[in-house]
Structure 1
Amino acid sequence: MSDPLARLLEEAELEARRLDEALAQARAARADQGDDEHDPEGATAADDWSRFTALRQANERWLAEIARARTRRDAGAYGVCLVCGQPIAPERLAVRPTADRCRDCAERRA
């Protein structure tokens, strides 16, 4: 059986590398353009920078969530709700392998 957390980590790390490259390109574009605020062609380099920065920050949060799930797994607590201590349904873990709450506790939190 494959490890869904390892697969998620691999995908998230690949996305981090892609976003880092996009940020590097946006940084270069910002350095090359003097006045991108008046570019009639569309989005400015600053817009690209802001978008990629936000995506990279979201990716960092996702990587941290995966790391926490792997820590729970290594400690033998994976699949156990942090709130009520009951097992998290396998169907929930199949959809969201990083889930740390059962459906009931997650709904109460929202």
Structure 2
Amino acid sequence: MTAVDPELRAALTADRAGTAERIIALSADLEAIMEASRLVATDDEHDPEGSTIAFERSQTSKFLDDARKRLGDLDGALARLDAGDYGRCETCGNAIAAGRLVARPSARTCIDCAT
């Protein structure tokens, strides 16, 4: 492992912790939205507020799905770091550019293979 690994691990771990907290918060938000819609006998199609409730539920669900995917990506990045494979393209085996890893720390492929 190189000298930057502790800093990289700390950054990935902090990002993972923040993402896990986001998942908890979004899960609570989604449960609150669903509970609120259960308590009120509304018809989303005909109620003026129904489309708003459906939109909020859909949007929160999408954010939650994205956060779960990000958590998986970060777990994968940490596993690659542990295995000594972090920063190597899974497709071609070449190094992933540092700028790409800064912008997207969980990147598994170089920019050429990503396109």
Shorter-normalised TM range: 0.7 to 0.9
Deviation at 1:36?
4.1
| Deviation sequence 1:38-83 (CA, Å, 0-9, x none) | 3334634333222222221121111111111111111000001111
- Gaps in structure 2 of 5+ consecutive residues: 1-6
Match of 1:28 in 2: 35
Secondary structure (helix, strand or coil) at the match of 1:87 reads coil
1:18 matched to 2:20: no
Q: What is the TM-score normalised by the length of structure 2?
A: 0.81
Q: How many residues align?
A: 107
Query: What is the CA RMSD across the aligned residues, in angstroms?
Result: 1.8
Equivalence for 2:4 = none
Normalised by the length of structure 1, the TM-score is 0.85
Q: Which runs of 4+ in 1 moved over 6 A?
A: none
Superposition pairs of residues 76-91 of structure 1, within 5 angstroms: 76-91=84-99
Aligned-pair identity in percent equals: 33
Q: Note the residue ranges of structure 1 that are not aligned, 5 or more in a row.
A: none
Counterpart of 1:66 in structure 2 is 74
